[in-house]
Amino acid sequence: MRIMLKGKIHRAHVTGVNVNYEGSIAIDKRLMQEADILPYEQVQVLNVNNGARFETYALEAEPDSGEIGIQGAAARLASVGDIVIILSYCQVKDEEAHNFTPKLVYVDGKNAITETKREVGAISF
């Protein structure tokens, strides 16, 4: 078995932080659906602005709200306006991993979907 990227929301903007909440990340329901992320599923969040990386679980926010809310202790790792990448993973049998493709969701400055992809391509720098 290999752990593979299953879904990604790329460069979303944090719309709120609440350190007093029990914990989690609230994500616009439509973004979750497009990235194949379920409520209460573990996600990894990468903060482009400060380099912080953390795991939490996803909660649904109102569809088409654009909400990306960092809550609980993780709220200390982000500020409103920060750009984050939200990742989910799955285990795949080795023989299936070579052809496995994640669901990639790209958003604009208001967290509206601009593009979705389900393909594997070469990375260039």
Q: Per-residue DSSP letters for 71-123?
A: EGGGGGG--TT-EEEEEEEEEE-HHHHTT---EEEEE-TTS-EEEEE------
pLDDT tens for each residue of 58-67: 999 999 999 9
pLDDT tens for each residue of 76-99: 999 999 999 999 999 999 999 998
| Given 21, 40, 57, 89, the catalytic residue | 57
Q: If you classify domain 2-110 with CATH, what class do you get?
A: mainly beta
Distances 58 to 97, 109, 113, 120 between C-alpha atoms, Å: 25, 21, 18, 25
**Is residue 57 flagged as an active site residue?**
yes
Token pair for 50: 């400060």
